[in-house]
Chains A and B, each alone.
Chain A
Amino acid sequence: MVGIIGRNGAGKSTLLKILTQITSPTEGRAEIHGRVASLLEVGTGFHPELTGRENIYLNGAILGMRRAEIDRRFDEIVAFSGIEEFIDTPVKRYSSGMYVRLAFAVAAHLEPEILLVDEVLAVGDAAFQRKCLGKMGDVAESGRTVLLVSHNMEAIRRLCERAIWLDCGSKRADGPSEQVIRQYLDSTADRKDLYTLLAERSDRKGNGRLRFTGFQLRDATGNPIRSVGMGETVEFVLSYIVPEGKPVSNVMVWFYVADHWQRRLLFFSSNHKGENFASLPAEGRIVCRVPRFPLKPGRYSVDLGSSANLVHSDVISEAAVLEVVTGDFFGTGRTHPGSSDFVCDHDWSFDRREV
């Protein structure tokens, strides 16, 4: 299973379109050994007036299944979708969830030797996405080739052994996915990218006595980084100015780290640590150092807040994105599998005391 990553416009989707023969290349050549099926979206060709049953046949044919094959797997498809009772209802009466489930059920029962997938995971709820990921894992395990294009680094990391990083239509890196993803995330071609500018943000609250102007991550040695490895030391650097140009006193600073369901997983507060700033100059940077970052790999958002003299001065939600990649949390030389949301240090031993 191979993952394709890269910025928007890097040529990921174009590559898939060429491999699926939707568009033809201007130069170069590709050889494909085996039967190809592509999932550039689910439910291609579904017609709202047709029933679930009819759409299974139509969609199956469009995806390249033979009629006999659909006949054989029909019951399985229906069972997988879980909409047996509505199979003879026109799909226009379906809820959008039912629609997607049926569409995915058809796609999941394709039996190609090579499966090309593009961002299909971007649709549906979390449970559905998990189901998709699981099914793709099955396909890959059964010895078939899966080519997955995604912005979801987590999915690529979990599913693909190998990743290819495309940039401006050519290959930047190709290798074990963990390594390529890291390279991609850390690519410092444009150092400005490592620095989130906040001065322009207008969706902020507070009286504005102190305003955040930027957010940056640094590693233990103070080098700017794009992503945090699990268990690594990270410094959150918050740049600020005081618009009045005078020092401010009694400043509290805090930030939350939240996942994409807006669950606040971590809260860092100068107040809770008893480390408020009695006085700050008119411009500067505040650093919060976190040893052994405990969250599992994924994308998180950071909400910033500050107050001066107990009045909110600047609050910005989703101020920055925090990318966490896997790392050697326990210092054992192995990367942590990220099997839970949090990791904390612990020790194991055998109890030798008499009972």
Chain B
Amino acid sequence: MVRASSDTPMVLIQPEHGIAALKLADLWAYRELLYFLAWRDVKIRYKQSILGPAWAIVQPVCTMVVFSIFFGKLGKIPSDGVPYPIFAYVALLPWQLFSQSLNLSSQSVVGGAGLITKVYFPRLIIPLSSVLASLVDFVIAFGILLILMFYYGIVPTWGVLLLPGFILMAIFAALGVGVWLAVINVKYRDVRYALPFFTQFWLFVSPVAYPSSMVPAKWQWLYGLNPMAGVIEGFRWALLGTRPPLVTIYIAVILVAVLFVGGIYYFRSAEKMFADVI
């Protein structure tokens, strides 16, 4: 028998039973791969397109204009005392971050089939890296928000310090749902067709075009079951100083944590069938 010297890593391969270990240390060991995959996604995102990274701005800005005309001007939807365009735009930022991350992470595992069937690495890296790329779009679109805030003379409150927390929540919410869908997508490609409908539906039940204060008080808890309600209201509060999202944000934090932790456990326990089923 060959004896391993103390500095050679020893890998033991055997069947896994029961609840899969998360192997977070493994994930950390492969952090450079995570970086390279995210870097690749960013690099190729706008290759061979005329507008290039400007697409990150076109989408939220156009949506903001449409929302402002139809919901703000014609529909007379209240906007918690801030100008409607910036009211909508502040909500569109986390929404787009969320919906894009959700979309990319759900498709990521199937999209990475070439890698999954040929090399080993912690599979969680695939949905994680796909989400990092949508952060870049977020940062670009955020620049426009700063211009809008300057234009409307809005100074953020101290709550802005919590903004990174809200951004993280949007990402984790997307990942939480995204890893579930990514696994289901490996087996059932229906996900690809259901997803656009699903995100559109989700947009309507999120306070993007309207304030959550429009929802009657006794239904607020139910409304809060949509974690994006808390995240979006949190964004508005942090940047524009509107009503703080008290109940909804607590529900959101718990929900996101449950979704995310459950999601990665589910992912870990399902990942061993990826290479065979994909």
A residues with a Cβ closer than 8 A to B are 17-36, 38, 40-41, 44-45, 47, 49-50, 54, 57-58, 61-64, 66-67, 113
Contacts and interface: CB of A to CB of B under 8 A. Distances in A.
A18 B8 contact: no
Given A22-B120, A32-B12, 20 more contacts: A20-B120, A22-B116, A23-B272, A24-B13, A24-B15, A24-B16, A25-B13, A25-B14, A25-B15, A33-B4, A33-B10, A34-B8, A38-B120, A58-B36, A61-B33, A61-B36, A62-B119, A62-B121, A64-B121, A113-B8
13 contacts: A18-B13, A19-B13, A20-B119, A22-B118, A30-B12, A31-B10, A33-B10, A35-B9, A44-B119, A49-B48, A58-B36, A61-B37, A66-B32
B40 A50 contact: yes
B157 interface: no
B115 interface: yes
Contacts of A49: 43-44, 47-48
A30 B13 contact: yes
B272 to A, nearest CB: 4
A87 B30 CA distance: 26
B8 A33 contact: yes
Contact of A47 (B8, B40, B48, B121): B40
Given A40-B119, A49-B48, A66-B32, A26 B15 contact: yes
Contacts of B276: 23
A50 B43 contact: yes
A30 B15 CA distance: 10
Closest 5 CB pairs between A and B?
A: A33-B4, A29-B14, A61-B36, A21-B120, A24-B272
A35 B117 CA distance: 20
B114 interface: yes
A332 to B, nearest CB: 36
B11 interface: yes
A44 B30 CA distance: 17
Interface in B1-57: 2-4, 8-16, 32-33, 35-37, 39-40, 43-44, 47-48
B162 interface: no
The interface centre, meaning the residue of B32, B35, B48, B119 with most chain A CB atoms within 10 A of its CB, is: B119
B275 interface: yes
B43 A44 contact: no
Given A50-B40, A113-B8, A61 B32 contact: yes
Contacts of A54: 40, 43
Given A25-B13, A35-B8, A113-B8, A58 B275 contact: no
Contact of B115 (A26, A27, A45): A45
Contacts of A41: 118
Contacts of B10: 31-33
Contacts of A50: 40, 43-44
Contacts of B275: 17, 22-23
B183 to A, nearest CB: 15
A17 B13 CA distance: 11
Interface string B85-127: 0000000000000000000000000000011111111000000
A308 B170 CA distance: 84
Nearest to A57: B36
Given A18-B13, A25-B14, A33-B2, A62 B115 contact: yes
Contacts of B43: 49-50, 54
A29 B16 CA distance: 11
Contacts of A24: 13, 15-16, 272
